[in-house]
Homo-oligomer: A and B are copies of this chain.
Amino acid sequence: MKQAGIATVANHESAVDDGIDAGVDFARAALIALDWGTTSLRAYLFDGHGRVLATRASAAGIMNLPRSAAEGGFDAVFDDVCGAWLERAHGVPVIAAGMVGSAQGWLEAPYVETPANADALVAGIVRVTAANGATLHIVPGVLQRGELPNVMRGEETQIVGALSEDADAAHDAANDAAHAASSTCSLIGLPGTHAKWAVVQAGRIERFHTFMTGEVFAALREHTILGRTMTTPDRPDTEAFLRGVNVAREKGQAGMLATVFSTRTLGLTGELPGEAQPDYLSGLLIGHELAGLEAVLVLQQSSLAHQSPRLIGNEALCERYRLALAQFGCLQAQLVKHATERGLWRVAAEAGLVNPSARARSAG
């Protein structure tokens, strides 16, 4: 569910694409970590200090296996992506997060319930032995019960990665102020196909929302009348995007089912050319997402303007969210880089798969 939430590891792109591990000192390998989602898989090889030695990427998400699970599809992908590493770093522990732990994954890791911290995730780890003898430790997702239940798989590990900055800061400073800061509520946003917004406190995921923003955008563009007049712009049209955000933010509008139709009617009246329509629609949907989040915050005596959210995910998409958040008076949003690999390292450390005293240093 976080196809768009995979952090880019720019320094390793050539190694990823070519699958070449030239120059990697396998004697230092301490952990293989997998971010295995619906449509893709990314693998990280860590040293004992939490530094990334090499990465691999594959399009073999759990819905894209080369053959079925019953026919060994998971084993085949795992061997393809990590087999060479395991041969040269035999016995290195393996951790995995994401949809690989869903009911449609390799082995189901039942959800742990909110409030959930890293300890709870560790307690929920399930183990599966691959055909090549390696044991995968699969991190569970998180479930929030209630009238409108919510689920995440993969994002919980990214959130732990973002929070590991706090833990590091608290550890380094070891003073009361830092501990106090980490015990207040804060907001973490994970834009994407199914965007998540989580409220975290003292290292725990307290509650969260899911917004189907990315998937609804694709469905509206590809499968409704709105797509018929759209053309693809040469570059993102920020003005059209912000126009959409501000329409969604207005109190006088009649809701998303009504505002989206203006993508078409502004075209019919000559006020929005076809190449501006995709960004306008994107702005409308992200604006409605943030307006919905704002409504929930206001009920809790808060507001986006009083928050300093952290954003995890694709950098260009996070930048769009930063611009949209500013329209809501939220000027302190910050991108957290390398949250995925930091989170995988942190959970592995908490689980005792690597030396827990070696704190994550993978981020630049």
> Residues of A with Cβ closer than 8 Å to B?
143, 145, 147-151, 194, 209-213, 215-216, 218-220, 222-226, 247, 251-262, 265-266, 268-269, 271, 285, 288-289, 291-293, 295-296, 299
- Give the CA-CA distance A323 to B296 in the complex, in Å: 27
Q: A145-B269, A223-B223 are in contact. List 10 more A-B contacts (CB 8 A).
A: A148-B247, A148-B262, A211-B258, A216-B220, A219-B223, A219-B224, A222-B223, A254-B296, A255-B256, A257-B289
A293 nearest in chain B by CB position: B254
Contact check: which of B147, B220, B223, B271 meets A247 at CB < 8 Å?
A: B147
Which residues from chain B contact A260 at a C-beta distance below 8 Å? Answer: 212, 216
Most B C-beta atoms less than 10 A away, residue of A145, A254, A265, A289: A254
CB distance from A217 to the nearest CB of B (A): 10
- Give the CA-CA distance A222 to B266 in the complex, in Å: 27
CB distance from A288 to the nearest CB of B (A): 6
* Contact A292 B258, beta carbon cutoff 8 Å: yes
* Contact A216 B291, beta carbon cutoff 8 Å: no
* Contact A262 B149, beta carbon cutoff 8 Å: yes
Q: A149-B271, A222-B223, A224-B212 are in contact. Are A255 and B143 (CB under 8 A)?
A: no
Which residues from chain B contact A226 at a C-beta distance below 8 Å? Answer: 212
The 6 closest A-B pairs by CB, nearest first: A255-B292, A254-B292, A149-B265, A211-B257, A148-B262, A219-B219
Which residues from chain B contact A210 at a C-beta distance below 8 Å? Answer: 258, 261, 265
CB distance from A307 to the nearest CB of B (A): 15
* Contact B255 A291, beta carbon cutoff 8 Å: yes
- Give the CA-CA distance A292 to B262 in the complex, in Å: 15
- Give the CA-CA distance A254 to B226 in the complex, in Å: 24
- Give the CA-CA distance A265 to B213 in the complex, in Å: 16
- Give the CA-CA distance A79 to B332 in the complex, in Å: 66
- Give the CA-CA distance A143 to B216 in the complex, in Å: 27
Contact check: which of B150, B254, B269, B292 meets A143 at CB < 8 Å?
A: B269
Which residues from chain B contact A261 at a C-beta distance below 8 Å? Answer: 148, 150, 194, 210-212
* Contact A255 B289, beta carbon cutoff 8 Å: yes
Contact check: which of B224, B254, B268 meets A216 at CB < 8 Å?
A: B224
- Give the CA-CA distance A149 to B251 in the complex, in Å: 17
- Give the CA-CA distance A289 to B256 in the complex, in Å: 8
- Give the CA-CA distance A162 to B288 in the complex, in Å: 34
A211 nearest in chain B by CB position: B257
A216 nearest in chain B by CB position: B257
- Give the CA-CA distance A256 to B287 in the complex, in Å: 12
CB distance from A219 to the nearest CB of B (A): 4
Which residues from chain B contact A257 at a C-beta distance below 8 Å? Answer: 211-213, 216, 256, 285, 288-289, 292
